Chain A
Amino acid sequence: MAVTESSTNVVLGGTRGGPDVATLRQDRWWLQPVVTVSVLTAFVIYSTWAAFQNKYYYVGANVHRDLISPFYSPCLASNCVPGSKAGFAFSGWALSPALLILIFPLGFRLTCYYYRRSYYRAFWWSPPACAVSDAHASYTGETRFPLIMQNLHRYFFFAGLIFNTLLTYDAIRAFHQPGLGWGVTVGTIVLLVNAALLWLYSLSCHACRHLCGGQVKSFSKHPIRYRFWKFLTPLNAKHMNFAWASLIFVALTDVYVRLVASGVFSDYKIF
């Protein structure tokens, strides 16, 4: 390798030690990328199918329930099934209503710092694991389009907060069973847990931690923001756990609503 000297006095080149192999690691470093690819691929395939199916996403008053899939809430198209429509609806939208909204949760997860780590490793192999060679000859990271758009994460975070609020509203509303009054069913608990996990995922977000307090230079001059930051820091340490739990549970919630809506089984009333 040629030795060149830049204006920064950093000398490039020189012989590196060790053999010229991709890695000398002997452990199962490939396991984590395999699991990541498997789970994320399964989620993408299922959610795409669910988003395009355009039916069985709402369990309505005909069975004394008010359950909506998180993939379709808020239902913003005039072609939404009766009872599932949000206050505002786009008229003339002929495709699945899920396609109007899914860009926001998708964007939030796609630009999430944790998911970036995961898919850069597992899908892009940049690198596939620590101390395992990058699969690409050149590398510019997140300095150019399209990856420079990862900097928009905080906007998707804000959008995610709106969705969390709406899904929480859905979960609370589900406790009121049309024609029967207030009660608890398995469906209400599923929706509630889903909303709770999504809140935990959002609140543990790195952008949230930064905006709530991390961006200040002096904690002592901003005691309230410091308290927010202190509260969010332990949550942030578990961001990975919340990312996976909320991802899997949002799909399970859709599965549950879909199975009830399609008549495979009925939503069990607890009390």
Chain B
Amino acid sequence: MADVTMRIWRGDASGGDFENYSVEQNEGEVVLDVIHRIQATEAPDLACRWNCKAGKCGSCAAEINGKPRLMCMTRMDQLPEGPVTVTPMKTFPIIRDLVTDVSFNFEQAKKVPALMPPPMPEGGYIMFQEDVERGQEFRKCIECFMCQDVCHVIRDHEANKLHYSGPRFFIRYAELEMHPLDMNDRRDLVREEMGLGYCNITKCCTEVCPEHIKITDNAIIPLKERVVDAHYDPVAWLGRKIRRKTKTSAADAAVQPAP
């Protein structure tokens, strides 16, 4: 096959620029194959993160022609004719070349209150299939953080990182909120501290998810509706009062230790 020009961002925290590499492209190759060929030939110091090469570890997330994608799952022959641009994820600070510091996400992960089940009944916990299936979709997340990268709330507004956990963690909150054994109530927490209200549901997270998780429809909007139940719906409020339904408060939930 014909050679292809790869425009790759080279640099680190002190600055950088594009460098062009003209490399051979073989049938069936993905972007990561070509990056590896560049490493093996022209630029052995080119930094990129990768691991499974099968779209299951999420390590090789980068921006290809301006869109967040997994390099190992992006076939070269499906890209348009012309130079292929590869840049690191824009939302996170660069370490070197295509490698970014994604520790923002690990800080957000620490804030998620763990599952709080009731005391173990005799015979153990029982979960039915329909309840298992509901959360299963969210467990497919491979933590590539492309949803976090594409989310304009932090991509274009750095200061929002202080009070916005992002779509990857909204699916975690949603999964826990929908867990039949969980006794925590995280609705105040996601509204007041995790910035659920900042999401304006533009669905970019869903568009880039390599696992095709319906992040917006199945996690973020249900969470927003749960916040409406708790804060903006007087009928729901009245129903809770009449039925004397109470849950662990968000403040308590935030400090609940893992069981």
Contacts and interface: CB of A to CB of B under 8 A. Distances in A.
A18 B128 contact: no
Given A23-B66, A139-B157, A220-B180, A10 B200 contact: no
A131 to B, nearest CB: 5
Interface residues of A, number: 56
Nearest to A220: B128
B204 A10 contact: no
B197 A148 contact: yes
A117 B220 CA distance: 13
Contact of A154 (B13, B93, B177, B228): B228
A17 B19 CA distance: 13
A126 B160 CA distance: 14
Contacts, number: 182
Nearest to B129: A220
Given A14-B13, A126-B200, A217-B180, A19 B225 contact: no
Contacts of B90: 16-18, 131
A18 B197 contact: no
A152 B224 CA distance: 11
A64 interface: no
A13 interface: yes
Interface string A209-245: 0110011011111000010000000001100000000
A15 interface: yes
A264 to B, nearest CB: 41
Contacts of A26: 65-66, 80, 82, 85
A215 B229 contact: yes
24 contacts: A10-B108, A10-B161, A13-B158, A14-B92, A15-B13, A16-B91, A17-B98, A18-B63, A19-B18, A25-B66, A25-B67, A26-B66, A116-B201, A117-B200, A121-B202, A127-B156, A131-B90, A134-B156, A142-B199, A206-B225, A210-B225, A215-B222, A215-B226, A219-B130
Interface of A: 1, 6, 8-19, 23-27, 113, 116-117, 120-121, 126-127, 130-131, 133-134, 138-143, 147-148, 151-154, 206-207, 210-211, 214-215, 217-221, 226, 236-237
Given A143-B195, A236-B217, 11 more contacts: A14-B94, A14-B101, A17-B87, A26-B80, A26-B85, A27-B80, A117-B216, A130-B67, A131-B90, A152-B232, A215-B222
Interface of B: 9, 11-16, 18, 63, 65-68, 80, 82, 85, 87-94, 97-98, 100-101, 103-104, 107-108, 110-111, 127-128, 130-131, 134, 150, 152-153, 155-162, 177-180, 182, 195, 197-204, 207-208, 216-217, 221-222, 224-229, 231-233
